[in-house]
Amino acid sequence: MKQLKALNKYFWKYRVRLGGGILFVFLSNYFNVLSPQITGYVIDFVQRSLSVSGYKAPQNKANYDILVVTVTEKIEHLDYNWVTIVAICGLVILVLALLRGFFLFLMRQTVIVMSRYIEYDQKNEVYKHYQQLDSSFFKTHNTGDLMNRIAEDVSRVRMFTGPAIMYLANLVAIISLSVFFMLKRDAELTLYVLAPLPILAITIYYVNNTINRKSEKIQESLSDLTTNAQESYSGIRVIKSFVQEKAMLGFFAKNSEEYRKNAIGLARVEAVYFPSITLLIGLSTLFTIMIGGLHHIANPDTTSLATIVEFVMYVNMLTFPVSAIGLTASMIQRAAASQKRINEFLDTPSSIKEPAVPVEKILQGNISFKNVDFVYGHTGIMALKNFNLEIKRGEKVAIVGRTGSGKSTVAQLLLRMYDTTKGTIELDGTDIKQLNLKATREQISYVPQDVFLFSDTVANNISFGLEKTVIADVERAARQANVDKEIAGFSEQYQTMIGERGVTLSGGQKQRISIARALIKEPNLVIFDDCLSAVDARTEKQIIGNLNEYLQDKTAIIITHRIFSLFDFDKIVVLEDGEIVEQGTHQELVARKGYYAGLYDRQQEQERETE
Ligand code: ADP
Ligand code: MG
């Protein structure tokens, strides 16, 4: 339960709504408990006016609420005949019901609206926190889990901040008000009549927990089912080409069967649940009439007919809120469990820390790696070993090496997606850990190895991260990345949607749009991570030609598994198992006849073959 303390800041933020909501709950219940009193008064009044045989004026006072006493005295003083007075009392009950309804409306308007505000704030809080977390967090938690906490768990917490709080306030209000008036009316009868209610509450609590357990199971099997269906649609080509339709159907049918079984199980419990609640509620009314009747027979002076009617009405008012105790309790339990999961993430700090006094400066593009070791924490893989590299402003450096040799890791460290395990990285002579993180990343243009495009227009994908989209710049970047002609062929050119609801792009097109996204920015530092792997040799040449011009006064690190002989690199670094094994210019490395020379020879041969 202490998990829910995390919500206190929100309750404080929305204290006016919360306070108002609780006040309205009490007001609506106050008008609610007045109607049995008016009814009781009318019953007594009619018996009195008609001098019903056997009627004796009760000895004990009815102890009605002051409002009821005033109103009924006023009505009686009007000296109308009894039928009119009964009709006026009927109108009063109607007015009470309207008042009650009005305050119920206000209650929902405050409490439920508050819960929606809290839900909104909490979603943003979680989302914002996710964005601050470091890359290793996202490597160790799956996307489904992240999605669940921001969607499912937050809405379960809302069930607490909204409905559960409303039910609780309502329960406290109706119990205190009705029991107060019942005790004033007939203390002994009150105790007898209320005795069965706790049984009702406890029974419902247990049944409700069973229902929740079963619905959770249903939820799980439903999510299995959807994942399964989704995968078979997105992998439909693989399924068809391996002729696995039948096997997939069998798999789906099994999931479906599981879901059906669970759902039928729940339906069975619910089928018993609702009739038994109705039965229990009905029984408590009957019980009230029986006990009241016995009291009346034994002692007609203290327990009048009016008392019995009033008590039946009170008990009816109490049964719903009391039966909601079980519901409320399990809502709170689930909210606490969900809040616990949310807190778990919110309490995870990012391992990438902003310095206390961040240095902010325009980066010129001098880079220096000093004795850098890097180990991926969760796998223990040592990706870089004693890595040293000096890059001067304006230099173009290539990093070459086999897959897994640590090339991308160099880029990740420069963007400070991770901190080095040992050694330092300096940008223009300042330790990267001392620099303002956001400003640093903003000043680096980066094309990641695995392209990611948003389901948005081509133009917005290219200008992603810029404050506004200038279409001329977008077009220029697309031209430099050699995708402008293809974009011109799309149905709506730069306004064409990418992704499920738009065009499907080839790997090469995606890469080039991703390059255009980097080229539209004008920073001093550029990192391209193997960004031409899906582009054919001729397009590659054209892009490199454009890059020569774009990169003129910039510092560039180009990671590649192919050698760009057209590009004049100041330095080429060959990585193997996280270590630099060769270093130098193209000529030097070719002369050295090592890994680079071998790679170059193979590539030359391939090119000759394809020509
Ligand atoms: P390259 O870009 O040269 O192919 P990487 O820098 O991606 O190489 O990887 C270097 C080593 O680190 C590899 O052994 C790889 O398996 C490992 N590695 C890369 N990224 C991660 C990661 N996020 N978590 C754990 N290990 C990783
Ligand atoms: Mg890589």
pLDDT tens digit string along 523-534? 888 898 888 877
Give the atom of ligand 1 at the shortest distance from the alpha carbon of 578. Answer: 10
User: What is the extent of the structural domain holding 210?
Assistant: 2-346
Task: Kindly list the distances between the CA atom of residue 211 and the CA atoms of 91, 160, 224, 263, 270, in Å, as whole numbers in the listed order.
Answer: 42, 18, 20, 11, 7
Closest C-alpha to ligand 1, atom 27: 376
Ligand 1 neighbours (beta carbon < 6 A): 139, 376, 379, 381, 383, 401, 403-409
Ligand 2 centroid–CA 422 distance in Å is 21
**Residue 489's CATH number:** 3.40.50.300
Assess whether 26 and 154 both reside in one domain: yes
Q: Is residue 600 part of a domain?
A: no
Ligand 2 centroid–CA 476 distance in Å is 28
What is the pLDDT, as a whole number, of residue 158?
A: 93
Assess whether 305 and 176 both reside in one domain: yes
**Interatomic CA distance for residues 415 and 133, integer angstroms:** 14
Assess whether 465 and 320 both reside in one domain: no
Mean pLDDT of the chain: 86
Q: Is residue 309 part of a domain?
A: yes
pLDDT tens digit string along 257-290? 988 998 998 888 888 888 888 888 888 889 889 9
Helix axes 471-480, 537-550, angle to 10 degrees: 120
Q: Is residue 602 part of a domain?
A: no
Could you please report the per-residue DSSP string of 152-212? IIHHHHHHIIIIIHHHHHHHHHHHHHHHHHHHHH-HHHHHHHHTTHHHHHHHHHHHHHHHH
Of 221-225, 389-393, 413-417, 573-577, which gets the smallest average pLDDT?
Answer: 221-225
How sure is the predictor about 565, in pLDDT bands with cuts at 50, 70 and 90?
Answer: low
Assess whether 20 and 141 both reside in one domain: yes
How sure is the predictor about 610, in pLDDT bands with cuts at 50, 70 and 90?
Answer: low
**Interatomic CA distance for residues 319 and 315, integer angstroms:** 6
CA 262, 264, 267, 273 torsion-angle sign: negative
What is the pLDDT, as a whole number, of residue 500?
A: 66
Cα torsion at 490, 494, 495, 498 (round to 10°)? 70
Q: Is residue 141 part of a domain?
A: yes
Strand 396-401 and strand 571-576: pairing?
parallel
Residue position matching structure tokens 């696995």: 244
Assess whether 54 and 176 both reside in one domain: yes
Ligand 2 centroid–CA 517 distance in Å is 19
Residue position matching structure tokens 């902010």: 360
Closest C-alpha to ligand 1, atom 12: 383
Percent of the chain with pLDDT over 90: 21
Assess whether 325 and 464 both reside in one domain: no
Assess whether 460 and 317 both reside in one domain: no
Domain boundary (346, 369, 398) is at: 346
Question: Tokens representing 12?
Answer: 């404080």
pLDDT mean over 502-512: 80
Assess whether 307 and 172 both reside in one domain: yes
Task: Kindly list the distances between the CA atom of residue 539 and the CA atoms of 36, 398, 442, 568, in Å, as whole numbers in the listed order.
Answer: 86, 19, 28, 18
Question: Tokens representing 204?
Answer: 């419902």
Ligand nearest to the CA of 447: 2
Domain boundary (316, 346, 376) is at: 346
Q: Is residue 342 part of a domain?
A: yes
∠ CA 413-419-424, rounded to 5°: 80
How sure is the predictor about 435, in pLDDT bands with cuts at 50, 70 and 90?
Answer: confident
Question: Tokens representing 88?
Answer: 């006026």
pLDDT mean over 209-233: 83
Q: Is residue 408 part of a domain?
A: no
Closest C-alpha to ligand 1, atom 20: 409
Closest C-alpha to ligand 1, atom 21: 376
Closest C-alpha to ligand 1, atom 25: 376
Tell me how far the alpha carbon of residue 260 is from its chain's centroid.
28
pLDDT mean over 137-162: 85
Residue position matching structure tokens 């080509």: 237
Q: Is the pLDDT of residue 23 over 90?
A: yes
Assess whether 189 and 336 both reside in one domain: yes
Q: Is residue 351 part of a domain?
A: no
What is the pLDDT, as a whole number, of residue 501?
A: 64
Could you please report the per-residue DSSP string of 97-129? HHHHHHHHHHHHHHHHHHHHHHHHHHHHHHHHH
Q: Is the pLDDT of residue 481 over 90?
A: no
334, containing H or E segment: helix 305-346
Ligand 1 centroid–CA 383 distance in Å is 6
Closest C-alpha to ligand 1, atom 10: 406
Domain boundary (330, 346, 362) is at: 346
Give the atom of ligand 1 at the shortest distance from the alpha carbon of 529. Answer: 2
- 406: which DSSP letter? S
Nearest alpha carbon to residue 178 among 324, 62, 37: 37
CB 339 within 8 A of CB 3: yes
CB 495 within 8 A of CB 457: yes
**Residue 279's CATH number:** 1.20.1560.10
Ligand 1 centroid–CA 409 distance in Å is 6
Question: Tokens representing 345?
Answer: 């993430």
pLDDT mean over 341-355: 85
Closest C-alpha to ligand 1, atom 7: 408
**Interatomic CA distance for residues 436 and 51, integer angstroms:** 91
**Interatomic CA distance for residues 529 and 450, integer angstroms:** 9
What three-state secondary structure class fits 381?
A: strand
What is the pLDDT, as a whole number, of residue 99?
A: 95
Q: Is the pLDDT of residue 54 over 80?
A: no
Assess whether 339 and 456 both reside in one domain: no
Tally of structural domains, the chain: 2
Closest C-alpha to ligand 1, atom 13: 404
What is the pLDDT, as a whole number, of residue 100?
A: 94
∠ CA 370-375-379, rounded to 5°: 170
Assess whether 462 and 334 both reside in one domain: no
Assess whether 333 and 455 both reside in one domain: no
Ligand 1 pocket test, candidate residues 140, 382, 409, 412, most atoms within 8 A of CB? 409
Ligand 2 centroid–CA 406 distance in Å is 7
pLDDT mean over 566-590: 84
- 521: which DSSP letter? S
**Interatomic CA distance for residues 114 and 20, integer angstroms:** 11
Ligand 1 centroid–CA 421 distance in Å is 15
**Interatomic CA distance for residues 109 and 162, integer angstroms:** 11
Give the atom of ligand 1 at the shortest distance from the alpha carbon of 412. Answer: 6
pLDDT tens digit string along 169-211? 999 999 999 999 999 988 888 988 888 888 888 888 888 888 8
Q: Is residue 467 part of a domain?
A: yes
Ligand 1 centroid–CA 575 distance in Å is 13
